[in-house]
A and B are shown apart, each in its own frame.
Chain A
Amino acid sequence: MSAMRVDAKVVMLGKESVGKTSLVERYVHHRFLVGPYQNTIGAAFVAKPIQVGEKVITLGIWDTAGSERYEAMSRIYYRGARAAIVCYDLTDSSSFQRARFWVKELQNCEEHCKIYLCGTKNDLVEADRSVRQIDYHDAQDFAEEIGAQHFETSSKTGINVDELFQKIAEDYNSTAFQYMTAEETGVDLGLKKDSYFYSCCHNN
């Protein structure tokens, strides 16, 4: 049923209607939702294989409910996530405040989770500069301060969407790299296996 093996959990965070689902939809199905679509059941969970060098990394992308009434439970969602895409709407300053909140939560609770700050609806800003409420440099400064990657995307035009997810997969791959090199040098990790197998359970 869910035969796809998933390497890394990526969680989408952001206020309601900033376009989390559209972003995933754009990335996975290369389309922007404007009318009724019948051929997918749901976009809440997607497993997406990505080519990184010679390897294929499968990202499990978790959509979350952005409504404030579920805010208290968001910690349950991002537990164990390797990456979080914190979305905010470039035309909505309140959404950036919420993004700050999530960044803080993540830093407190999930230290192994990389943060990707993502300003959405770039096409609106391109069309009319006056609707922009979040300055690019402000967001960039904030991203640098928290050690996050920063992207401005548009699910409508597709700008920066692929780049964002590619970057996540590459970053994941390079953190998992150490393990790989250890194996390649031929050190026998299985040497001591017997000694600790059952070391705690097999004592009768």
Chain B
Amino acid sequence: MSQRTERRGIHVDQSDLLCKKGCGYYGNAAWQGLCSKCWREEYQRVRQKQIQDDWALAEKLQREEEAAYASSHGAQTQSHPQSSAPQPHPGHASMGPFSKFEEKKTNEKTRKVTTVKKFFSPSSRTAPKKETQEGKTPSPSISRHASFETDQVTKDFVDFLKNLQKPGREIHKQCRAFIVNMSSKKDLSADELSECVQDFYQNMADRLMSHFKGSSESVEQVMDQVEKYIMTRLYKSVFCPETTDDEKKDLATQKRIRALHWVTIQMLCVSMDEEIPEVSENVVKAITDVIEMDSKRVPRDKLRCITSCSKHIFSAIRITKNEPASADDFLPALIYIVLKANPPRLQSNIQYITRFCNPSRLMTGEDGYYFTNLCCAAAFIEKLDAQSLNLSPEEFERYMSGQASPRFNSSEVDWSQTGPAPPVTNPVLAQLNHNLELLSGLSSRQETLMEAAQSLQADLLSWPEGVQREVNNILEKYPLEILPREVSAIDANNMDNDNLPPPLTPQVFAG
């Protein structure tokens, strides 16, 4: 540290600032002395490797477990690999004409897989190609066929950039160019696509940083908009792409969660008491939020759903325990919520966020924390076994095969524990009873309403009669008397007035 302090203000040798890899660009201490490009390569590789390792481990564990399961149960329920296998990669066929891009690929594994796939599906080459092309026109005017949602995003983006004037136009130009560019790279692997997007973020952030003179707040604001615009546009082509096995993983996870339907809140040691109405309300909201994640397009919005879900879980725990929740409470609760919700395309969403989210947010901030917990929950569910639920392997097997249901036992225990006073322990039954009460209340209110309506009808019927009666009464009291009227003949008074000319007498004209 002292060494570095000395350096302050003293001339720094140019070579100290250059990228350690010797590519000629300037390095940066925050990137271990590499330039942004080398750093990205380095960092991306390490990160991807870690992710792959994690998944590989999870997969291995699951395979082992499945193998154990299969050996003890024979071929009883082993049909699932077929259901997800048949149609996974028609998109590979369309790679043929773009073979020049293949040379760019550094990922040996993907390449091998691709060639093998191509070899096996020569007949299906034309059909899927048409399909992919009508969806995503590779012409520069891709913006034309955008849906309403993307139009709206474009409009918002342009409006936002107008405030920035000249640099705004530049940003827009870069983004458009990038999107057009990306649309011609559909045949790249997901990791390479991710790298492109992340590179773009990095470069854009660097540029903005120098433009705003280091005001990280403004930079982040613009970056949020950029991310929103780009990812809404690219969503269809990069979410759960055909080049990956994301879809297969989604199906596997979904199946796995369904098979674990019997896991109870007690087994996970979750400190949430769903009998408290406020808690169950929060649980429902948390479930809704985590399901809603799939409907969002922008990685940031997806993260927001996770954060909101987590906040509801924290409220639920706090209400139950009367003290702030720690991570020891939170993770099991999140696992429970994920098991209950079975969120659609969970793995795809996790992968999508990992690949295309602005990394500064993902790695350190609050959203990143909750996202990491979600990844953990997903990993835990995948490799969940008897030990992690404090069950004996035999019990676990029985529950997995559906021969026994722990729910039954546990509710019996609850019955004996709670005694006769609260007759219902199952939250579903409680809900049901509650609904029945509501319904009966509703029907009694409806009866009252009907009565009121009938009395109103009776009133209405008797009303004209009453009015008639009153009118008659008044008529009787004040009968109609017609007073004799003195009619005076106007002409009678001036009968003998001579001044008047004589009346005209008819004259006869004889023809």
Contact = CB atoms under 8 A, between A and B. Distances in A.
Interface stretch (A98-106, A154-162, A186-194): A186-194
Contacts of B12: 181-182, 185, 187
Contact of A42 (B326, B367, B368): B326
B4 A76 contact: no
Interface in B149-184: 174, 177-178, 180-182, 184
B390 to A, nearest CB: 8
Given A21-B326, A33-B323, A200-B199, A44 B388 contact: no
Interface string B15-30: 0010000000110111
B57 A72 contact: yes
Nearest to B370: A45
A1 interface: yes
A120 interface: no
B239 interface: no
Contact of B363 (A1, A80, A182): A80
Contacts of A175: 29
Nearest to B319: A38
A127 interface: no
Interface in B174-230: 174, 177-178, 180-182, 184, 196, 199-200, 203, 206-207, 210, 216-217, 220
B327 A64 contact: yes
Contacts of A35: 323
Contact of A177 (B4, B207, B330, B372): B4
Interface residues on A, range: 35 or more
A119 interface: no
Contacts, number: 185
A22 to B, nearest CB: 9
A76 B383 CA distance: 15
Contacts of A198: 174, 177, 203
A181 B325 contact: no
B50 A109 contact: yes
Interface residues on B, range: 35 or more
Interface string A105-118: 00001001000000
Q: Which of B181, B207, B323 has the most CB of A within 10 A?
A: B323
Interface stretch (B125-133, B246-254, B373-381): B373-381
B366 A75 contact: no
- 5 closest cross-chain pairs (CB), A and B: A178-B29, A21-B326, A42-B314, A36-B322, A63-B327
14 contacts: A1-B307, A4-B366, A5-B217, A20-B326, A21-B328, A42-B314, A60-B368, A64-B327, A65-B331, A76-B54, A177-B5, A189-B26, A189-B28, A196-B36
Interface of A: 1-2, 4-9, 12, 16, 20-21, 25, 33, 35-38, 40-45, 47, 60, 62-67, 69-70, 72-73, 75-77, 79-80, 109, 112, 174-179, 181-182, 184-185, 187, 189-190, 192-193, 196-204
Given A70-B376, A73-B379, A185-B10, 5 more contacts: A4-B365, A9-B363, A41-B318, A60-B364, A197-B206
